[in-house]
Structure 1
């Protein structure tokens, strides 16, 4: 894989962003971590990286998210490219949660920004963050430890987690669907449906699909290989097709989109009705 040098990001924006980021601080962070040892500790040795993930560069970084450079630069860069303020956007998404979940799974959690906010919002809940990159999970774990939050981190695929079904009250995903092929996004919805208890909630934060349909230049700027296919779709329709009910789409700050849906409660099976013999009541005739 090679980094495209013709993107607007490489030619114009990367140097500008670099002026806002403390490169020395990032370098100090990167050199302070034994990435090989830490990734071996976190990584699932049986996990095979899907081709859609390992064969692509994301955001102009060679090797995509399977690199330490992606892990240490993600937060400093994202704070400038999730306007108007990354934390506000993530907090506004969390406000769409209806219930008081006791077991939460954050899929594609990256460096744990939303995962941490979920644990802070629901301090009594068991919160799990799952991501395909052990490098991103290293940063997420550090972030949670700094705040002394008991979040658990799993290395795995959002579309095939291997976790037990019908065990979560809430499954979330932030800024994930625009970075996966549409068929994988739909598979993630099916997996989320399987993981949720009856009545459980699914919450997605991502870009506003209506806005992104007219923004093909974003692919050129940020080297987002799947964003246009995401933009052409309709998450609410995908949710309904998966089986979610009472689905909602909320536009946040004009350019972000929050999708919500609930897994239906299982239909209670009726107990078989038995008729006891009674010589005084003719069969088929109700007593007065």
Structure 2
């Protein structure tokens, strides 16, 4: 895992390393057969897109497709999500209004938000999906240590392969600033397809307003698509995908959570019509709690 000569690596990474027990991380990394464990998750039908495989994230060559990223992600992230990583992720959970039976966490990484979702909704089936099998190895290990039953799956958030209307809740944390705008829109369209009517999508990420006003932040973290993310609007992207009741809330002025609901009615041409599913279920489905 080659490190790049970046602002992060030259100035901030040494500070973060001061607070991290690198010996402990090495022992953990050496305790796992990463090739064997990642192969358990790796699916031959999953094609890694070039926007993901040919870019460096956080100045690390190869991004998340290596064991080093899986080992270091958690200890580093706790210092780059002020004021507190758990509080920031809790901001997403606090805005959930449905009582989900089936939850999909897209771009789950090492499963930090996924675990919190399972803890908040213990009766729900929870699935974490990510493009990196290495991150899934770490996520599974964390879930086992906390006794949480979560399904981890290798896959692409643009086309997950799950059936239509198979989830009540779809979430994504810290994903969209790492995807090109066209991919972001494709992911939201996939979220719309996956949700039942009245189901919710919640997106946690950096505050687009703050990132626009403080462009120097984009230089620090050196994410390849973060300026496109900052220039856009998750609200607008959700609306374009068909979601309604879209609302973005700022968290600590640094992060944002955007929530949208799949409506009972969908736009078709210049008029609104019920989907086949809605026509059958519309009379008895209660209004979503928002």
The question of whether the paired residues in 2 share the 8 Å contact of 1:218 and 1:224 is answered with no
Q: How does 1:96-175 map to 2 (within 5 A)?
A: 96-175=95-174
The question of whether the paired residues in 2 share the 8 Å contact of 1:199 and 1:262 is answered with yes
Judge which range, 111-120 or 90-99, deviates more.
90-99
Post-superposition CA distance 1:234-270 (Å, at most 9, x none): 0001111111011111111111100000001253549
| Match in the other structure for 1:79 | 78
| Match in the other structure for 2:235 | 236
| Match in the other structure for 1:278 | none
Measure, in 1, the Cα distance between the counterparts of 2:70 and 2:51. 19
Q: How does 1:196-215 map to 2 (within 5 A)?
A: 196-215=195-214
| Match in the other structure for 1:10 | 9
Q: CA deviation at 1:46?
A: 1.8
Measure, in 2, the Cα distance between the counterparts of 1:130 and 1:183. 20
Q: Give SS of 2:190's match.
A: helix
Q: Which ranges in structure 2 are unaligned for 5 or more consecutive residues?
A: 266-273, 281-290
Measure, in 1, the Cα distance between the counterparts of 2:181 and 2:3. 23
| Match in the other structure for 2:288 | none
Measure, in 1, the Cα distance between the counterparts of 2:106 and 2:177. 14
Post-superposition CA distance 1:27-70 (Å, at most 9, x none): 11111100000011111122111000000111122211001000
Measure, in 2, the Cα distance between the counterparts of 1:43 and 1:153. 11
So what's the TM-score if we normalise by structure 2? 0.90
Q: CA deviation at 1:216?
A: 2.8
After superposition, the Cα gap between the structure-2 partners of 1:2 and 1:216, relative to the gap in structure 1 and judged at 3 Å, is farther
Question: How many matched pairs?
Answer: 269
| Match in the other structure for 1:176 | 175
Larger Rg: 1
| Match in the other structure for 1:31 | 30
Measure, in 2, the Cα distance between the counterparts of 1:220 and 1:23. 26
Q: Where has structure 1 moved over 4 Å in runs of 4 or more?
A: none
The question of whether the paired residues in 2 share the 8 Å contact of 1:3 and 1:57 is answered with no
Q: Which ranges in structure 1 are unaligned for 5 or more consecutive residues?
A: 271-288
Post-superposition CA distance 1:203-243 (Å, at most 9, x none): 00000000001333233322211101000000001111111
So what's the TM-score if we normalise by structure 1? 0.91
| Match in the other structure for 1:221 | 220
The question of whether the paired residues in 2 share the 8 Å contact of 1:110 and 1:137 is answered with yes
Q: CA deviation at 1:115?
A: 0.3
After superposition, the Cα gap between the structure-2 partners of 1:219 and 1:107, relative to the gap in structure 1 and judged at 3 Å, is same
Q: Give SS of 1:213's match.
A: helix
Give the superposed CA RMSD. 1.4
| Match in the other structure for 1:280 | none
